[in-house]
Chain A
């Protein structure tokens, strides 16, 4: 009963200041907007220097009329595709200049097409793919494979100082290359040899994969900070003393605070999920109610944790520092960017005590794979256990600390 009173009082104080209300509502929004736009971008807009010596001609043997010269301009076609992907291009004539552009940071990569590029691609495609017919000057001709192999390679200089960017940029370039090659080769392509069966049908983007973790992390950051600082402020301001002089138990204070800030964090969580869903279309395959349940248990545990931190901190400044100390392992080990299985065993144990690990795991099961409650019972139990343990420890610690002075 008194905990409801305390909860109501906390909420009333938040609502009484318009600026606080705005901050509470805008912080998650800012978070989603930033991560949504930066994660859904594909690292294009990276400048590429090009040295194009390709003459655009391919000389092929035919069965009917001997050697003919085709004008195919494969290098230009490849460049067009690359530009279409959003990479700006600067033309260079000398290889050294192009390489220098990459070294000096003026370009992210440099591609050098040799003179016989079109010729080599067309003939290699014929050699690997076998004969092909085509229309040439009004008549059907059979193209024959070349007698010798042509080894003319394209040189690519890459700025690999940022592996994340270079790998995602390279993937796009490789795709452009293989499109051109398979275009030339029709019958024999990578697709025909490799039976690729993605479980999620290739629908899961980088954004989808990281979204549950990022959302859970954002809630941790915003909520633990808010709760811990509020409790410390109540203590340093002396009002906690006044509450204690009244017939109120530590448990009632802790549950009061937890209830109020669970409501606040719940609103922020709904905001985070809703904006991610509607503005960035993140995948939400499973039940929304189940997502809400996971977030609720997670947030409840965070309040317990915040209480515990607030009793350890002597002032608001220390409270902030403690929250940061908690957040660092969460973002590193909680499975936001890479799964906890990928961690060395010593850290894997640590990851298991982080609530973020379990919340993230459960959210992924539901949001990405669309699984039901039976698939996440382990994670839900972990979250419940975490909430009970931290709320109990928070109460114990608050009782101890307050009376100690």
Chain B
């Protein structure tokens, strides 16, 4: 999917030659501390940011391209909805950008509102919702066109525990439907639920693999220990 991807902001190297390949239908967790370059990487993967070097392909097609964009869903780290429109109106607006007929959007909206538990607030302006509710609305909008590949930038940040578990259940259900999920987080317990994970630090992908693989190769007994070991190798003890 990504080959030697590089992104600079001025003199700062935000993403430094990152390469990986994710098999279709996998839940991939990208772990990294604040400023590691997770959001920057995700934005390049979904085609809103052009890499300074390297190549990104999704489902075998270069990004951005019409074919890929139709299949791709993206939930940005910030809410990115029209605060002056209602939840329903936001769903309708973005649904129609994917040529989904109105009737189909309406039935899809029902499902999604149940998923993110916003049925009662659907006719309220997004700006009038709480921060966590806005993030839930944002997730619903990202799912409206049933994307085959989904990029979620910290989808559960600011969402309460009960709903977080519900969302992870849904992610697993999507996984079962062969949807590829790419989820960024800085929470250890969340990546442990992913089939594959990558650890990004200062723009570089330090490790990649399944959780047991990573633990085994480090010789420690937990994921946390494995990642600490990686940082020590880098000469940056925490």
Cβ–Cβ contact B81 & A239, under 8 A: yes
A248 to B47, CA, bound (A): 12
Cβ–Cβ contact A237 & B80, under 8 A: yes
Q: Interface-forming stretch among A77-85, A92-100, A384-392, A397-405?
A: A397-405
Q: How many A-B residue pairs have CB under 8 A?
A: 71
Cβ–Cβ contact A241 & B48, under 8 A: yes
Cβ–Cβ contact A242 & B141, under 8 A: yes
Known contacts A5-B96, A402-B48, A403-B48; A245/B82 CB under 8 A: no
Range class of the B interface residue count? 20 to 34
Pick the residue among A2, A237, A247, A403 that contacts B70 (CB under 8 A).
A247
Cβ–Cβ contact A16 & B76, under 8 A: no
Known contacts A5-B93, A13-B84; A241/B76 CB under 8 A: yes
Which chain B positions have C-beta within 8 A of A5?
93, 96-97
A245 to B72, CA, bound (A): 7
At the interface, yes or no: A89 with Cβ under 8 Å from chain B? no
B93 CB to nearest chain A CB (Å): 5
Interface residues of A in 226-258 (CB under 8 A from B): 237-239, 241-248
Q: C-beta contact mask, A361-405 vs B, less than 8 Å → 1, else 0?
A: 000000000000000000000000000000000000000001111
Which chain A positions have C-beta within 8 A of B108?
none
B14 CB to nearest chain A CB (Å): 9
At the interface, yes or no: B46 with Cβ under 8 Å from chain A? yes
At the interface, yes or no: A12 with Cβ under 8 Å from chain B? yes
Chain A count of residues within 8 A CB distance of the other chain: 22
A17 to B76, CA, bound (A): 26
Cβ–Cβ contact B94 & A242, under 8 A: yes
A12 to B92, CA, bound (A): 12
Interface residues of B in 27-83 (CB under 8 A from A): 40, 43, 46-50, 64, 66, 69-70, 72-74, 76, 78-83
At the interface, yes or no: B85 with Cβ under 8 Å from chain A? yes
Which chain B positions have C-beta within 8 A of A40?
none
Cβ–Cβ contact A246 & B85, under 8 A: no
At the interface, yes or no: B20 with Cβ under 8 Å from chain A? no
Pick the residue among B50, B69, B78, B96 that contacts A238 (CB under 8 A).
B78
A241 to B138, CA, bound (A): 13
Which chain B positions have C-beta within 8 A of A402?
48
A309 to B54, CA, bound (A): 31
Closest Cβ neighbor of B95 among chain A residues: A246
Which 6 pairs between the two chains have the least Cβ-Cβ distance? Answer: A238-B80, A403-B50, A247-B69, A246-B97, A245-B74, A405-B49
Known contacts A239-B82, A244-B48, then 6 further A-B pairs from the complex at CB < 8 Å, ordered by chain A residue: A5-B96, A238-B80, A241-B48, A242-B80, A245-B47, A246-B94
Interface residues, chain B, with chain A CB atoms under 8 Å away:
7, 9, 40, 43, 46-50, 64, 66, 69-70, 72-74, 76, 78-85, 89, 93-94, 96-98, 125, 141, 145
- Enumerate 30 A-B pairs (CB-CB under 8 Å) in ascending A order: A2-B97, A5-B93, A5-B96, A9-B82, A13-B84, A16-B84, A16-B85, A237-B80, A237-B82, A238-B76, A238-B78, A239-B80, A239-B81, A241-B48, A242-B74, A242-B80, A242-B81, A242-B141, A244-B47, A244-B64, A245-B74, A246-B69, A246-B94, A246-B97, A246-B98, A248-B69, A248-B97, A402-B48, A405-B7, A405-B40
